[in-house]
Structure 1
Amino acid sequence: MAAKEAKARIKLNKLLEEAGWRFFEDSHGKANIVLEPKVKLTKAQIDELGENFETVSNGFIDFLLLDEAGFPLVVLEAKAEDKNPLIGKEQARKYAKSQNCRFIILSNGNLHYFWDLEQGNPHIITRFPSPDSIKGHKKFQPNAQKLITELVGRDYIALTQMPGYASEAGWKNDLERPAFEEKNRLRFLRDYQKRAVHAIQDAVAEGQSRFLFEMATGTGKTLTAAAVIKLFLRTGNASRVLFLVDRLELEDQANKAFIAQLKNDFTSVIYKERRDEWRKAEIVVTTVQSLLFNDKYKRLFSPTDFDLVISDEAHRSIGGNARAVFEYFVGYKLGLTATPRDYLKKFDASKPTSRDPRELERRLLLDTYRTFGCETGQPTFRYSLLDGVRDDFLINPVVVDARTDITTQLLSDKGYAVAASNSEGQAAEETFFQKDFEKKFFSKATNQLFCETFLKNGLRDPISHEFGKSIVFAVSQNHAAKLVQILNDLANVIYPGKYQSDFAVQVTSLIPDAQQFTINFTNNNLLGSTNFLDSYKTSKARVCVTVGMMTTGYDCPDILNLALMRPVFIPSEFVQIKGRGTRKHNFLTELHDKVLKEQIGKQDKTQYKLFDFFAVCEYFEEKFNYDEVLKLPRPSEREDTPLPPPPEPIDQYEHQGTDALKLLAEQAIGTQGMKIDRMFFEGFENTVKADPVLQRQVDNEQWDQAIEYVTTQLFDKPSAFYNLDKLRRAAGVDRRLTLREILEKIFGLIPYFKNKDELLEDEFQKFLLDQPADALNKHADAIVALKYFFKAYTTDSRLRDIIENKRLTELNVNPAFSMADFKAVPKEWRDRIPEYVKDYVPLNQFM
């Protein structure tokens, strides 16, 4: 066997063993891999294969994978490293038919395809499917025709919730019907939601397997997704569905929705809550970050475990190397997004804007459309904010353009100039812009003015007449804390005796139970309820001050005010923020006094206010109804010169004596480190495991809180002086470790710390999944050269500098990566690989 064929065979053997296939009988069962010398084809079968049969004269199958009864299950067709695996496609098809196999794997050791002969084309995979996964997938018998012809009416979800609802007396009586629907929480599809599901049926009829829904915030993407899930599960075109979100709070929100809407027919679970029993559920909900970290998706799942993968907020949850999770699984793919590509239609991509956040957003959106087979820019189904407003399902904002003297200067081309002095006492001048607010530029007076303007002009609750429920978006967690203090001080003056520092609440990732706060705010019991009117249930806390937790997917329809007390530069972020207020709401649903209800009459939400203190709307050139521009109250004291950021508190120690060098010696320490280092790590491990607070945070995947807790409560204490640098050295790994990795290892969420080369292999596989299939097919014979370039560029800063500055002649004398290596890389990949690495690969982990 040639050297390249031998290399491919070695890699294939390892991949098979990692997936649970066995060359020899062991404690897990009998051998289930048959090598080519043991599987001979008949002469008739060989003749049928014809001239394309590329093997020795007798004809052998490379690998045949067997089921537990010893019958053929999968044909693995192997090619040398320098050959495209797809050249063996038709050959493998004939092999598979001769062995009565439904499944085929095509591989050259570096690039692999999984092919279900009953389901379209081969799919790129990065890990071989396990025996159990193939066994389960074999039971899966898709029937596209059943999906295409399934009747999906307005009551498609309601029929699962209550199959006999139409025969109930409460439904038949027109006057009682609204109360009957509310009591039983029946959900009916709106016309556009039905059209979205029908669009998928049409797409499947045309042979498509990828779909994209572009639906504005507030149009019910989760309900539409539930209808799609039912369609695939009910018709047998999926046996299990993976629903990916990009935020923990959305994970819980989506799972509760699926339980409420589909529990009578299907089981929905959150993966982290059912780690050992997720296979018993038809719907598995998880965050993409949870699966991506340390490649959990590859370690714990097989590519055939899910037949339909849905990505919520698709251009966020599959952005960058997170797409590797999405692409890892074979089968149907659906993306949901509230961010229209048209939003960037006025952006001139021809200008040099590589650092412009709008250019980044444009690339993310284009990648999203490409991923779902919508290169033309036309999604499978579209329902915009304007569509929702026109159909009277959504509300456009009343934009309150509110700029102070200081923010006006910050927004100007010249910026805000401040006279100062340098460290030597010489006069100097510093200029600040809007991006510097609350990062480099601090103004207490401006924050005070923001809050005063907001409270004076915000909408009031139409029932209780207290300040309407609101969300304020701050620059940072520290800024949020400042704003909460100011708002609570002002509320104490405006509403004396009504609040006890609970008018405004900070809801950010470092606040304990912040996720529960968001839920309580929706349910109108954040820090209590019914503060003004006993019979009216509404949250006592009126304002949530956040940074990013409540931007995407947060559903609280009775929001009346939104305030941007920070600049926003990412279009999708702006779309999501203003989307928090677009939902309609009937305020009478929370009023439990029938007499008062009749007196008050109809009280629907007809508007909400968006306070824009940084001309964000103008920045994005959005055509909103700018019908309310306020004259701001003058601050009592002008603060022409903003205060610098307060210095960080430090512990000071002044040594008064002298010192001298007494001993100088050197000793080389091996990769295992010193014993004291290993004992040091074990001591930290025992300390962490014994901490109940940390255990709870890790169990709930509250990683920001866990990292903050370790840093503040366990690091640099007199008892042990633990810190991250010491732990990294003690671990004895040839790269940088993150604190999250260390915690995952301690709590058994990862088996070991991967070395540098293992991480590079993982990153390269993610890169392959991110590339268009046709581009990979075209250069499949150059995969080895691509991998060498990818690894070298990722780990060698000198090579990155040479490539970025186009000093290619230096490669002639570069020992690590030569000109010959560079020429072996196809031209179109010489830019594609550096761009991907710069955008998506965290280089600091390889230091």
Structure 2
Amino acid sequence: MDKKKLTERDICTKFINPALKQAGWDIQSQVREEFPVTNGRIIVRGRMHTRARPRRADYVLNYKKNIPIAIIEAKDNRHSLGDGMQQALAYSDALDAPFVFSSNGDGFLFHDRTGLYGKTETTLQLDEFPSPETLWQLYRQYKGIGQVARQTVEQAYYDDGSGRTPRYYQMVAINRTVEAVAKGQDRLLLVMATGTGKTFTAFQIIWRLWKSKQKKRILFLADRNILVDQTKNNDFKPFGQAMTKVTNRTVDPSYEIYLSLYQAVTGSEEEKNIYKQFSPDFFDLVVIDECHRGSAAEDSAWRQILDYFSSATHIGLTATPKETKEVSNIDYFGEPVYTYSLKQGIEDGFLAPYKVVRIDLDRDLQGWRPSKGQTDVNGELIEDRIYNQKDFDRQLVLKKRTELVASKVSEFMAQTDPYQKTIVFCEDIDHAERMRQALVNLNPQRVKENRKYVMRITGDEQEGKAELDNFINPEERYPVIATTSKLMTTGVDAQTCKLIVLDQRIQSMTEFKQIIGRGTRINDDYNKHWFTILDFKKATELFADPDFDGDPVKVYTPGSDDPVNPDDENAIPEDEQLEAGCGEKPEGYEVGPDSGWETDDPGGETGGSGEGGGRTKYYVDNVEVSVIAERVQYLGPDGKLITESLKDFTRKKVKEQYATLDDFLRRWNEAERKQAIIDELAEQGVIWDDLTRDVGKKLGEEPDPFDVICHIVYDQPPLSRKERAEQVRRHDYFSKYEGATREVMNALLDKYTNAGIEPIEKVSVLNTAPFSEMGSVIELVNAFGGKPGYTEAVKDLEDELYQQTS
């Protein structure tokens, strides 16, 4: 047997698998081949999308089903023993597996990241691969897992038989947390981007700690009813009869898993007695969801419940740990046990990418000043000063500004999808209501179809709040547009939200991340793979802040006397307390720094006349407002927004690979599949959708991607797909075919004209009309003498399509 002629798969089956079996590894339960690490970054093309190639580890070895401890990267025998090592080390980083191997079938190169085996890298013969017990003993020594902790660490995940298993980052988060708790750590913080499955991760952590009897009574705390109910009915459902939801009534101590709102167990003295019906040592574990909110503040009423159950282990979950001079998650919970960022989630293909449309309004940037003695529509004398973006809709309302924003939103939706789920974030409840009215008036036909096309969903109004479940339910079309302020900033699982409108001035990075998180979920069933942000108040400038996707840094100063910034957008205005609690405001609640309800707007909901010391909000209806700048920004492959001209960016990226037109033509003509080049450029950040549209406007018809690149990058005159197809027909190209083959080739050229190069490069196109009417796939392929003949004919057609440019 010539080993050099074997494929990589042959090397795995003939050499690596036998070596693992000989070492004592159970191939069925301990060895995962072709382990999917990522899904592949989503690449958007118009209303279609594709994915970059997913990352897959050749082998992941688990001591128990849930604990990856070793990675093997396999290569064919034409590679050296260590050629796969760097790739394997990258998988080791992702999976927290400290033992790393590379093999070409001759043996193994072993890289030990624990420093316990001997040299960092050692060459092993095929029969020298370490046994599971050997590596597990080293792993336990490396992690400091003693005999007592071992039972907890080895406890398996919950498995419902559906095949759903934790993703790689969830696996790492769960394992690190369980190991830390098993070793006695009592304060832990997990930071995971919105949409990455924090609740499922929390469930698996609790399940393993509960089943192993490490923790017997657990309290899960959230700050919104919808979060508690979603958790109880979905991810936590397997706890069954062992689980209950705490209410403002007498508690039943016979359960083991308790879910509760902060507000259900704090507040007035009477309500505080609810949690005091439990003894301070009743709970072994308290898990705090969205811990960046009330529990972050040292003097918060919500912190009191954590202090009361201080003997329990506390685990904080958040996408956005709050780190300011006044409050700190890290000060309480410690440095994060694990962090999984939005940028990484998008790169891995688990979160949806986005594009930003920045719209600047003249009054926002230039400001507006009332004339001397000018009054508003209510007869209020307007304070004489310059009002700008910071003031609009908080202290001064320009009616025509609201109408213009609503008009741009409606225009965007009409051009893309008028039924895409949309959240419009406004300054306060009054602004949300005015925006609702403006959108209703601009979309009379949609509203006539269903009055719930536009709904204000805020905490003060039951009719709108009752529609929140329908808005986030993918199966419900209505409401389509939700205007809101604070209620939908966090924890709302809007899987199909494709448009986020920012008409709210946001300075808090915490709140900005939460709002962006409303769009990052992917839903394959409803074709939700990316989203758009329409920004009217420069909020997306925060994307450029290093803190946007950086690790949380503790800046908290205990005992700080610094006043709370009245413009802190993460605080919750008095008029929106109900939005934060998502329920009735408990009797006896007082708004203020000691209440657990934060405040930032002394003027309250509408400002009114300023009674009670609040500031006045003025309403002006005769000031013209216009758009002075509008630009689109794209998320580049490095996770940063592309702010330069899209054409300039494209020229730069393409010329990095193809310095001259000849270089590009040579690669294009040599490629077996043209689509591979298109995909490759998309992964480099080429935005085909908008480039094609721009060139298509000049042509009056849609161009081929080939012409888009030749025109934009190399200044060549472009042709449309229709023009290229007509040139092929004028050359009498099909005269060499007859019968079924000629019919198929004609239809392929039509398919190219209508849909582009991608579909004709797939044999599966023969399953679609009109090919399916000509015969079966096998019959059509056999007409060309078999698949090689058919593939050659398609390649020949492509050569003819592009030959005149070459």
Instruction: Give TM class, smaller chain.
Output: 0.3 to 0.5
TM value normalised by structure 2:
0.47
TM value normalised by structure 1:
0.45
